[in-house]
Amino acid sequence: MDSINKSFRLPTLRGLVSGPQSLLTPLHLGALCIALGVLTPIVALIWQATQADFAHWDNLITFVLPSVLKNTLVLLAGVAVIVGVIGVGSAWAVTAWDFPGRKILSWALLLPLAMPTYIVAFAWLDLLHPIGPLQTFIRFVLGFDSPRQFRLPDLRSLPGAIILLGLVLYPYVYLTTRAMFISQPAHLLEAARTLGCSATGTFFRVALPMARPALAVGISLALLETLNDIGASEFLGVQTLTVTVYTTWISRSDLASAAQIACMMLMFIFCILTLEFYGRKKQGFSSRSLRAIKPTRIEGWRGWLLGGVIALPVILGFLAPVIFLARESAKRLGEENALSPSLLAALQNTLSLAAGTTLVVVCVSLLVAWSARHSAADNAMPGFRRGVMRLASLGYAVPGTILAIGFLTPAMAVDRWLADLLDVRGLPLMSAGILLVICCAMRFQAIAIGALDSGLSRIPPSLEQASRLLGENGAGTFARIHFPLLRPALVSSALLVFADAMKELPTTLLLRPVNFETLATVLYAEAARGTYEEGAIAALMIVLAGTLPVILLVRHQMTRQG
């Protein structure tokens, strides 16, 4: 890292556009424009915040921000603790011990990734309702007849939000730390035990410090998803910065104040990204050439007890909500007109949005990754590749609410200019949903860029050189060599983007055209009205769409580990 930074020098303008290894070729210019396009909403957000009046901040500082900041900080801290404990504990358990159900749990622990946070909150609010199935069953067992005699604590609270978000987001930590634990050499742990360290001490003094970079990366991803959440926090009655930005814009029609509050969230994002950066910077402790950890067999009731404890996050974060949604959907499907025209229209809109976003993301990400490949191969500007890819991937780190607010001002200006140019009434890009697709593509293209860049890095340059020596041009080499080898990465990244676009709520709520509903917005509206059973079918459709990419991810992980 230091050697790369020392060798990097800012170029002159002449050096950028001239010379045998010119940096700003059309390919590189296109990638740079894409990266700057992702940066535009953030710059526009800061500009809009500075142009607005600050007179209302006395009221915000006195009555709004203290409680909102407290809720946000406590929520982030609580989620970090829960995802860290569950993620690290489950990853170490399935790595270090062999117990009944271990093979199933090793991949089942990833299933909550298929559950959007707002759907888990939606399901558990109904499951834990005072007259819901769980509390009714508990009262029946205890011999009570009324909720007045026995009632569980209300889930609509800050602790409830922390627990539910932790149950959904812990797979980010599990995924990263599990990979680190698997790659740790067994002789280090054996040496610690030989020197008199207990099993617990070996974990805390050897295994966990070596996995600390992966833990930092996993927690940072979970915290970014927590900041992006709007549905679960609002359903559970927790006023966070994200919810405040949304209500300030939509309920009070004050876009300028929403932009100013959103700028405060950028500080949280900066801190989280700093944590992630230093986490990645210190990776690389282990060597795969050394002997890996061999799980210790745990027999009898201790093994079954351990398996039951490790299965709890899967049951609470995935199985219970899915069973509830399937049960409620079966009830609705048994009724007449269960699949109403509005629900079918929302399904069609969701599929169209997800397909359009996926198409744009794959094309754009392929251009950025291919540009980075050539920058690295030509040894032209070592910092260019890293800088462009970081900028182009920035959208995933920014919550959808903030990205939509920053994107709205420049996008509407372009839309008005286009309407004047074409001499049409209204806003053609907004009404056609194109702006929504573009903003979703900005948010999710980091997924595809990472997958495609990883796929290209596995293709040896010698294949491309051999193709060119045989007389094939650049386009032909890409079509015949790179594209077939990139097909697995393209398919997997497209599935992940498709699933994320189907369940995206904040961006869709803020930028959707008039009378344009998706499954996520239908579910949000039903939950806001308290009619949970009406949104069960929409929720189940979203979960089923998100389960396929998770299964693909599981297969990929099992292939790597096998």
Q: What is the pLDDT of residue 8?
A: 33
Q: What does the pLDDT average to over 144-166?
A: 86
On whether residue 32 sits in a domain, the answer given is no
Inter-axis angle of helices 320-333 and 536-561, to 10 degrees?
A: 140
Pairing of strands 296-297, 97-98: parallel
Check whether residue 425 and residue 555 sit in a common domain. yes
pLDDT of residue 316 exceeding 70: yes
Read off the pTM.
0.82
Listed residues 294, 319, 335: the one ending a domain: 335
Check whether residue 557 and residue 453 sit in a common domain. yes
Q: What does the pLDDT average to over 2-17?
A: 37
Assign residue 392 the CATH number of its domain: 1.10.3720.10
Check whether residue 172 and residue 315 sit in a common domain. yes
pLDDT of residue 181 exceeding 90: no
Higher pLDDT, 163 or 368: 163
Q: What is the pLDDT of residue 281?
A: 61
Confidence of residue 18 (pLDDT cuts 50, 70, 90): very low
On whether residue 355 sits in a domain, the answer given is yes
Q: What is the 3-state secondary structure (H, E, C) of 149-172?
A: CCCCCCCCCHHHHHHHHHHHHHHH
Check whether residue 327 and residue 391 sit in a common domain. no
Check whether residue 320 and residue 352 sit in a common domain. no
On whether residue 261 sits in a domain, the answer given is no
Q: What does the pLDDT average to over 18-35?
A: 67
pLDDT of residue 129 exceeding 90: no
Task: Identify the weakest region by mean pLDDT among 31-45, 154-168, 280-294, 441-455.
Answer: 280-294
Higher pLDDT, 506 or 22: 506
Q: What does the pLDDT average to over 457-473?
A: 74
Which class for 557: exposed (0-12), middle (13-18), buried (19 or more C-beta within 10 A)?
middle
Q: What does the pLDDT average to over 465-494?
A: 76
Check whether residue 492 and residue 375 sit in a common domain. yes
Q: What does the pLDDT average to over 195-222?
A: 79
Higher pLDDT, 497 or 18: 497
Average pLDDT, rounded, for the chain:
80
**Separation CA 307–CA 295 (nearest Å):** 14
Q: What is the pLDDT of residue 436?
A: 92
On whether residue 431 sits in a domain, the answer given is yes
Secondary structure of residue 460 in the 3-state scheme: coil
**% the chain with pLDDT above 90:** 13
Listed residues 335, 352, 382: the one ending a domain: 335
On whether residue 16 sits in a domain, the answer given is no
Listed residues 286, 313, 335: the one ending a domain: 335
On whether residue 48 sits in a domain, the answer given is no
Q: List the beta bridge partners of residue 97.
A: 296
Q: What does the pLDDT average to over 216-242?
A: 87
pLDDT of residue 168 exceeding 90: yes
On whether residue 276 sits in a domain, the answer given is no
**Separation CA 162–CA 222 (nearest Å):** 12
Higher pLDDT, 121 or 184: 121
Check whether residue 119 and residue 142 sit in a common domain. yes
**Separation CA 126–CA 166 (nearest Å):** 19
pLDDT of residue 74 exceeding 90: yes
Q: Which of 72-76, 100-104, 325-329, 382-386 has the highest mean pLDDT?
A: 72-76
Q: What is the pLDDT of residue 336?
A: 62
On whether residue 67 sits in a domain, the answer given is no
Whether residue 543 contacts residue 322, with contact meaning beta carbons closer than 8 Å, is answered with yes
Which class for 9: exposed (0-12), middle (13-18), buried (19 or more C-beta within 10 A)?
exposed
Task: Identify the weakest region by mean pLDDT among 191-195, 306-310, 536-540.
Answer: 191-195
Q: Both tokens of residue 434? A: 């194109």
Residue 536 CA to chain centroid, in angstroms?
A: 23
Instruction: Quote the number of domains for the chain.
Output: 2
Check whether residue 518 and residue 530 sit in a common domain. yes
Q: What does the pLDDT average to over 263-283?
A: 74
pLDDT in tens, 483-509: 787 777 788 788 888 888 888 888 898
Task: List all residues 6 or more positions away from 432 whose beta carbon is below 8 Å from its beta carbon.
Answer: 513
pLDDT of residue 3 exceeding 70: no
Q: What is the pLDDT of residue 287?
A: 46
Q: What does the pLDDT average to over 550-557?
A: 69
Confidence of residue 279 (pLDDT cuts 50, 70, 90): low
**Ramachandran category for residue 284: left, alpha or beta (phi over 0 → left; psi -120 to 50 → alpha):** left
pLDDT of residue 180 exceeding 60: yes
Confidence of residue 169 (pLDDT cuts 50, 70, 90): very high
Q: What is the pLDDT of residue 49?
A: 81
Task: Identify the weakest region by mean pLDDT among 36-40, 76-80, 249-253, 515-519.
Answer: 249-253
Check whether residue 110 and residue 210 sit in a common domain. yes
Check whether residue 331 and residue 352 sit in a common domain. no
Check whether residue 366 and residue 472 sit in a common domain. yes
Dihedral over Cα of 160, 165, 168, 174: its sign: negative
- Expressed as residue numbers, the domain containing 202 is 78-238+304-335
Confidence of residue 22 (pLDDT cuts 50, 70, 90): very low
Higher pLDDT, 482 or 449: 449
Check whether residue 470 and residue 493 sit in a common domain. yes
Q: What is the pLDDT of residue 312?
A: 94
